[in-house]
């Protein structure tokens, strides 16, 4: 009986060790507005955007894809994600008054860039803002009020 109990305890310990992932599935939240920023070339930018998560979504991360900048399109794509731990069937989206930021390095070439984010509420019309990159000055960003 003791051998069986010890074997069962060891098996449960192995199974429990395999369940260390405490993250919920991620998804794209509704995006309300994007900011407009002025930044120095090749410097870090905390780009503001306003999300409208449903009650089951918790902001998780934001990644920037600058591959369009070098490809000649001049577009920076933002990909905010949220964790969705439960069903959203009984709750709607609510826009946060506090901005979420997406941190990335500004392009090294001065100019004006379009910043774009996919909005699942309006999949055919991404939300856009601007990033003006200069060789001198300071970084500043503004975020309009919720739409």
Asked, for residue 3, whether it belongs to a domain, the answer is no
pLDDT in tens, 102-126: 999 999 999 999 999 998 888 899 9
How many domains in the chain? Answer: 1
- In terms of Cα–Cα distance, which of 77, 65, 89 is closest to 128? 77
Residue 133 included in any domain: yes
| 94 Cβ contact list (under 8 Å, min separation 6) | 52, 53, 54, 55
- The tokens describing 87, both together, are 């069903």
Predicted confidence band of residue 13 (pLDDT cuts 50, 70, 90): very low
Range of the domain at 28: 24-142
């Amino acid at each position: 009986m003791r051998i069986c109990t010890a074997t069962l305890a060891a098996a449960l310990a192995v199974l429990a060790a395999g369940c260390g992932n405490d993250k919920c599935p991620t998804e794209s939240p509704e995006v309300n507005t994007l900011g407009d920023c002025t930044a120095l070339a090749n410097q870090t930018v905390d780009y503001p955007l306003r999300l409208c998560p449903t009650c089951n979504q918790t902001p998780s991360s934001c990644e920037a894809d600058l591959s369009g900048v070098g490809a000649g399109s001049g577009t920076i794509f933002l990909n905010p994600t949220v964790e969705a731990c439960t069903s959203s069937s009984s709750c709607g989206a609510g826009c946060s008054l506090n901005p979420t930021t997406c941190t990335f390095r500004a392009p090294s070439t001065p100019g004006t860039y379009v910043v774009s984010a996919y909005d699942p509420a309006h999949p055919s019309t991404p939300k856009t803002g601007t990033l003006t990159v200069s060789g001198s000055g300071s970084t500043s960003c503004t975020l309009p009020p919720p739409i």
